[in-house]
Amino acid sequence: MPQSVLSLERVLSLLPVRVTDSALDDLLFASKAEIDAREGDALTLSVTPDRLDLLSEGGLALYLAGVLEVAHGLPATAPKSPTSPPPRIDCDPSVDRLRPWIAAALVRSPTDAGIDVGTLAEAIRFQELLHASIGRDRRAASLGIYPWERVNPPIRYSEEPLSEVRFVPLDAEEEMTGERFFAGHPLAARYGAYGRLGDRCLVLRDRDGVILSLPPVLNSRAAGEARVGDRILLLESTGTLERTVRETLSLLLVVFASHGWTIEPVEVHRPDRPVDPGRSIVEPRTIDLPSTLVREVSGETLSAAEIERRLSRTRLNARPHEGGWKVAVPPWRPDLQTPIDVVEDVVIAAAIPAERGIVPPSRTLGRRLPEVRLRRTVAGYLLGLGFAAPHTPLLVSEASVARVTGADPIRLRNPVSSEFAYVRDRLLLSHLDLLARNTRRSYPQRFAEVAPVVIRDPAEETGGRTSYHASLVLASESAGFADGAAIADYLLRRLDVGGVREPAEIPATIPGRAARYRVAGEAVGEVGEIQPRILFEIGVPVPTVWAEIDLTALGPFLLRHDTP
């Protein structure tokens, strides 16, 4: 779980009422955060990955003020008089090679005193936490904080030759050339590859040509150093994915919103795209919440007033609408995307104290589900037959799919890499990779796994349905079709199911050396010898047989027997 060390005194100073240590424990116990340690003023807090906003003093104080009912709904962040003309960033298409997305916002202090030491430190600490988590150590997204009053807009984001870059780094005293900075600075050694390609690098400059930063490496001292007393700050995020860039920036806003700062968008102009006004990043978004969904999911019949009170406690705004509510969600809550997410907040807002003694209805109460017991039973049989039990991921590589002619797994729309580009539709894809990684181990090799796969299904909303398979692989000098078929037959007999084995053409197997199992006409399994072409490609020097049983398809024929 993501973790951060917060100043307890600073959190409590943002609340209009005093909270005791025991009360704080109780309040956080009913949330998605928990206290790992408390030592003096240092509060070590862990949260679930969807509530990173609670890992800042301001975000935690916003939440606590809501559940204590000393504050209600969304904090006001809209400026009384927005900047005119609207602030803007000019984004050059040259950045597409490295970090094509940028987003920004202006935050304005509620007083002339500007930002204090504690808020600035909180913002920088939360910025680094977002770098390490959502930003994937700045690879996917990175944030910058700049003093707007020392910047001459508009800002230009582009890729420039290193020879044209001269600036004083934030942690230095003397000016450096781009070549010298990337050659010797420790942050350039760590993050430089994300913002540099050959003899060119990413640069943020203002109208006067003053460098704000070299994203995602380091700010400059001239226009990139936010200081105590600054009244207006520019927050920006650059990265490789639009969603990640927007999410990191929106989360950083919670620090300033919790201290009463106003927030306004920054326009992003590109010659090859429509102008992005940036309002969707800084303004609340609306989610329709049907009243029937609240009742179905929570199992409670709640009055409209009670639902609105609970939403207000979670710092959301709700207004009645036909059939339910329009719920306003702040930008720092990216976890709230659908109505079901909002229902979760409605349930969490009330919690269920132990003294109420409520036992939630569940068909798992007292014992495991029949389908889970079936999977465990089959896994036990395979272990008893001497098969090792590996653990393989659900995602497989492009190379794995390419080698199995005829396989048709679902491809991810935006895969992180070619190594995790498809969702497997059979365990065979993962197990061939496993064979390839263990060619230096002696033979025979025997392993088997019970794990999920995703089968194409146009009837499902996602285009696929999850199914659990049991797959076994035997690689040895004497392995053949009969070995795999004997083990598959044995498993079906142990489960008291009469299956019919029929010849079949199965991807990756030798024609004439493969078969399909059917029970009452339903396909429930496959067995076959792996093609020599594939074995040669992955470096396996011995014959290999594979068998795979669809336990989800087999389940309806077994569960009537209540498998032990």
The separation between the first and the last C-alpha atoms of the chain, rounded to the nearest angstrom, is 35
Helix axes 370-384, 481-494, angle to 10 degrees: 140
Count the neighbouring beta carbons within 10 Å of the beta carbon of residue 560. 9
* DSSP 8-class letter at 531: P
**C-alpha–C-alpha distance, residues 541 and 494, integer Å:** 33
State which H helix or E strand residue 380 sits in. Answer: helix 370-384
**C-alpha–C-alpha distance, residues 293 and 505, integer Å:** 46
**What is the structure's pLDDT at 561?**
47
Distance of CA 35 to the CA centre of its chain: 23
Decide: 346 and 310 in contact? Cβ < 8 Å.
yes
* Three-state secondary structure call for residue 456: strand
**One-letter amino acid of 506:** I
Supply the Cα-derived Rg of the chain in whole angstroms.
29
State which H helix or E strand residue 348 sits in. Answer: helix 339-350
**C-alpha–C-alpha distance, residues 267 and 276, integer Å:** 6
Closest C-alpha to 178, from 190, 162, 193: 162
**C-alpha–C-alpha distance, residues 268 and 308, integer Å:** 36
**What is the structure's pLDDT at 348?**
86
According to the 3-state scheme, what is the secondary structure of 61-116? HHHHHHHCCCCCCCCCCCCCCCCCCCCEEEECHHHHHCCCEEEEEEEECCCCCCCC
Mean pLDDT over residues 72-81, rounded?
Answer: 91
Preceding amide of 154 cis, omega within 30: yes
Cβ neighbors of 506 (< 8 A, separation 6 or more) are 514, 516, 526, 528
Closest C-alpha to 213, from 245, 240, 191, 230: 191
pLDDT tens, position by position, 461-484 = 888 899 999 999 999 999 999 999
Structure token digits, residue 181: 């900075």
Q: Bridge-partner residues for 318, per DSSP?
A: 327
**C-alpha–C-alpha distance, residues 278 and 103, integer Å:** 7
* Three-state secondary structure call for residue 176: strand
Q: Give this prediction's pTM.
A: 0.67
Report residue 1's pLDDT band, with 50, 70 and 90 as the boundaries: confident
* Three-state secondary structure call for residue 369: coil
Report residue 356's pLDDT band, with 50, 70 and 90 as the boundaries: low
pLDDT reading at 379 higher than 70: yes
Mean pLDDT over residues 262-266, rounded?
Answer: 96
pLDDT reading at 107 higher than 60: yes
Percent of the chain with pLDDT over 70: 96
Structure token digits, residue 278: 């940036």
Report residue 563's pLDDT band, with 50, 70 and 90 as the boundaries: very low
DSSP H helices, 82-207, are 117-132, 178-184, 186-195
Which is it for strands 267-270 and 88-91: parallel, antiparallel or unpaired? Answer: parallel
Closest C-alpha to 42, from 5, 11, 10: 5
Going along the chain from its start, the domains and CATH numbers come out as 3-67 (3.30.56.10), 88-282 (3.50.40.10), 285-354 (3.30.56.10), 370-561 (3.30.930.10)
pLDDT reading at 460 higher than 90: no
pLDDT reading at 357 higher than 60: no
pLDDT tens, position by position, 507-561 = 999 999 999 999 988 899 999 999 999 999 999 999 999 999 999 998 888 755 4
Q: Bridge-partner residues for 329, per DSSP?
A: 285
pLDDT reading at 260 higher than 90: yes
**What is the structure's pLDDT at 184?**
92
DSSP H helices, 258-328, are 279-282, 291-298, 304-313
**What is the structure's pLDDT at 416?**
76
**What is the structure's pLDDT at 31?**
84
Over the chain, what is the mean pLDDT? 91
**What is the structure's pLDDT at 153?**
93
Mean pLDDT over residues 40-54, rounded?
Answer: 92
Structure token digits, residue 62: 């916003």
pLDDT reading at 27 higher than 90: no
**One-letter amino acid of 549:** I
